[in-house]
Structure 1
Amino acid sequence: MQVLAHEPGGIPVALRSRRWTRVLLPAFLLSMLVSCFRHARRADVIHANWSICGCVAGVVGIVWRIPVITTLHGEDVTRARHRALDRAVLSLCLKLSDRVVAVSPAIESWLRERYPGLAHKIQTVGNGIEDELLALPLDRPDATASGRLRLLTVGSLIPRKGINRIIEAIGHLPNPRRVRLTVAGSGPELAALEQLVETLRLGDDIEFVGAVEPRMVVDLLAKADAFVLASHSEGRPSVVLEAMAAALPVIATDIDGVRDIVEHESTGLLYDGDDTFHLAGHISRLRESGELRRRLGATARRRIVQWGLLWDNTSQQYASLYRALSVETGAKKKA
């Protein structure tokens, strides 16, 4: 079961890359259902993450008459846009859940448009970031003084994350030696990405550090000059919010879920995901202009503070939702 659920990219990636894992899926879902039945009996609220888990929790909630909240992420919407089976799972999840939380306004908007009859269940609660990121210094050592712009990207090494785009963009630079990219994450694309680095002769310019603990992500952000996201699709990427809180300028793909939080030329730089030369141009701009890096980073941090995107605020929103559902359910049972 570890192979199915705990690899980078989760169950969808495991099912695509290792077809034999499909035989594990029925047993996996059944064990999840049994476990949920056992642990939820005395609960006041069941909170699930991801649409398939929301379906399982929804069945248990009906049996035990317990309200269910399901939090949906970008991957839920991305899969539903492209596959009928995933749309069916998402639809069932919405019907079985008492409340549905989207992690970004873009996801909420798409869900409301797609399922207008269930719109009353849907709301947004954004993920928070760690307070310590806001304590990182605004002023970083000048990249031109050290000779290299320190870029960071964090994410699973799966096709959707587009790490190859960043590598290709660095290969387009007139002098790649003036940039140093750190890639934090693991996944099935590692060998292909390492081969790409070797083919482009960028071995001295790109480092793969593997999967890292959350504490280590803070350290990596503290040592970076800029953050890069090259994903093909996202919900509301927490790592971008973390980079903004760390006062890093962000270069990111111009896609739903990202343009909600990164404003071009204000809190970061957006680019057409298919245009690696465009990405290379943004990297060059940040490499050459310390003033631009400082301005974008400072504005990004101010935006995080203005939005109140801290875990304390997120937890308060969820606590209010738990209490409201508990009260509603109690009133229905008495009636």
Structure 2
Amino acid sequence: MCDAAGRGVRPVPRRLHSRRGRVVKIAYVCADRGIPVQGNKGASVHVRAITSALQRRGNDVVLIATRLGEGNPAPGVGELVVADPLDGDAMAAAVGASGADVVLERYALESGAARRASAALGVPHVLEVNAPLVLEASRYRGLSDVDAALARERLTFEEVDAVAVVSSALEEYVRHSSASTPVRVIPNAADVDWIASSPPLELGPGVALGFVGSMKPWHGVTHLLDAFTAVAATRPVRLVLAGTGPEEQAVRRRVDSDPMLRDRVSVLGVLPHDRVGSLLRSLDIGVAPFLPAVDFYFSPLKVREYLAAGLPVVHPGLGELAEVVGPAGVSYPPGDVTGLAEAIAALADDPGRRVTLAAEAVRRSRRWTWDDAARAVEELLETTLATTGVS
């Protein structure tokens, strides 16, 4: 919770020293009004996970956010502060009060105040880029004057001291805007131990398929329903859909209007993240039915969490999905509903193969955890502190 002045409580004790022999104070800024820290969307999970992991590793993290939201516990950071990203004075005050050695900001269309505050205070500013936000906003949210927004974005990438991105596609995107800014790829991760220890639920008979995530058009839930309808016509399968988004109501209407889907599909809506582990442990197959995209830049949390739960993953051949999933899943041609149905059917018909792929999923999930991601962030911050002469 925060008081009227926006100063936050300290959910966990501050560390006295880090593995490097001194506390590295990090001001993590989330200026995106659409990402409540305690919310349920993947971006909120990422903010909580990476800041908590950085704190656990011995850093002193002050999380400065625009919205707290609700639905999940606050992250385990040194301090949680609410500040208006458009109020330069408030942001400068929050960053200054943090005593930070470095500012790590999750890139938002509202970004700017944190950069000015870090420059005024003489501390490095590292930007975390999780999507090409201007292009997303122009495609899906009606952003006007795209050229001006791209120019602002280009200036932002040029002015920061370093950039962390979640995929190689985003690395290319950032380098196209600013060839001189250091960029490091640090993919999303999963809380492997928590998911593995979550008690499974009872979902009923049949092979259980699952989708957990945001129901945005490009996430392909409609295609998944099409494929599931074909598979369910001849096989005892069930489908669980967890999450919300622009497609949710259309999905509910379709399920409610079809007797077979109504009997076999569960639409759970918003699910607090602390219940996701148990749901995933109850499934037999995880599905990530992304639609075709020429610039697939995602590092999907859902795929990392499917693997951590020991789920074979059905996915399109897009971006780095094949590299992440490897032999722990089945790939199909992007946008091919028949191919998606065939991939699901093949796994539904072969329990032995599912067991083999599940073991590989768990093995692969342990190759990259939130602790690994936090360590990579530390390395980037330490390099930036050294090269800027602040360390």
Quick check: TM above 0.5?
A: yes
Judged with a 3 Å threshold, the aligned counterparts in structure 2 of structure 1 residues 54 and 267 are, in CA distance, closer, same or farther, namely: farther
1:317 to 376, 382, 385: 376
> Which residue pairs with 2:127 in the alignment?
70
Judged with a 3 Å threshold, the aligned counterparts in structure 2 of structure 1 residues 104 and 287 are, in CA distance, closer, same or farther, namely: same
What one-letter code is carried by the residue in structure 1 that aligns with 2:179? Answer: G
TM-score (norm 1): 0.78
Judged with a 3 Å threshold, the aligned counterparts in structure 2 of structure 1 residues 174 and 314 are, in CA distance, closer, same or farther, namely: closer
What is the RMSD computed on CA atoms of the aligned residues? Answer: 3.3
What is the CA–CA distance in structure 1 between the aligned matches of 2:325 and 2:307, rounded to whole Å?
A: 9
Query: In the alignment, does 2:288 pair up with 1:229?
Result: yes
> Which residue pairs with 2:329 in the alignment?
268
Judged with a 3 Å threshold, the aligned counterparts in structure 2 of structure 1 residues 166 and 234 are, in CA distance, closer, same or farther, namely: farther
> Which residue pairs with 2:243 in the alignment?
185
In structure 2, list runs of 5 or more residues that go unmatched.
Answer: 1-30, 44-83, 140-145
- 1:36-185 matched pairs, under 5 angstroms: 36-41=91-96, 42-52=99-109, 54-74=111-131, 76=133, 79=136, 84=147, 87-112=150-175, 114-115=176-177, 117-118=179-180, 120-132=181-193, 135=196, 147-173=205-231, 175=233, 178-185=236-243
SS of residue paired to 1:30: coil
> Which residue pairs with 1:291 in the alignment?
352
Shift of 1:236: 0.6
1:126-150: per-residue Cα shift (whole Å, max 9, x none)? Answer: 233213257459xx99x9xx74111
Asked if the contact 2:32/2:108 (under 8 Å) is kept, the reply is no
Asked if the contact 2:208/2:239 (under 8 Å) is kept, the reply is yes
Asked if the contact 1:69/1:97 (under 8 Å) is kept, the reply is yes
> Which residue pairs with 2:90 in the alignment?
35
What one-letter code is carried by the residue in structure 2 that aligns with 1:294? Answer: V
Shift of 1:36: 2.0
SS of residue paired to 2:323: coil
What is the CA–CA distance in structure 1 between the aligned matches of 2:178 and 2:124, rounded to whole Å?
A: 21
What is the CA–CA distance in structure 2 between the aligned matches of 1:242 and 1:156, rounded to whole Å?
A: 14
What one-letter code is carried by the residue in structure 2 that aligns with 1:278? Answer: G
1:183-223: per-residue Cα shift (whole Å, max 9, x none)? Answer: 11122322111122234431111111122222211111110
In structure 1, list runs of 5 or more residues that go unmatched.
Answer: 11-27
1:256 to 309, 314, 319: 319
1:35-71: per-residue Cα shift (whole Å, max 9, x none)? Answer: 3211112322111112435544223222322211111
The percent identity for this pair of structures is 24
What one-letter code is carried by the residue in structure 2 that aligns with 1:68? Answer: H
TM-score (norm 2): 0.68
Asked if the contact 2:325/2:364 (under 8 Å) is kept, the reply is no
What is the CA–CA distance in structure 1 between the aligned matches of 2:244 and 2:235, rounded to whole Å?
A: 24
Query: In the alignment, does 2:264 pair up with 1:205?
Result: yes
SS of residue paired to 1:197: helix
What is the CA–CA distance in structure 1 between the aligned matches of 2:134 and 2:364, rounded to whole Å?
A: 26
What is the CA–CA distance in structure 2 between the aligned matches of 1:2 and 1:322, rounded to whole Å?
A: 22
Shift of 1:94: 1.0
> Which residue pairs with 1:282 in the alignment?
343
Asked if the contact 2:224/2:337 (under 8 Å) is kept, the reply is yes
Structure with a larger share of its residues in helix: 1
What is the CA–CA distance in structure 1 between the aligned matches of 2:108 and 2:156, rounded to whole Å?
A: 6
Shift of 1:248: 0.7
What one-letter code is carried by the residue in structure 1 that aligns with 2:86? Answer: L
SS of residue paired to 1:262: helix
1:246-286: per-residue Cα shift (whole Å, max 9, x none)? Answer: 211001122214233123xx121122332212111111111
**Length, aligned pairs only:** 303
> Which residue pairs with 2:385 in the alignment?
326
Judged with a 3 Å threshold, the aligned counterparts in structure 2 of structure 1 residues 116 and 67 are, in CA distance, closer, same or farther, namely: closer
What is the CA–CA distance in structure 2 between the aligned matches of 1:288 and 1:221, rounded to whole Å?
A: 20
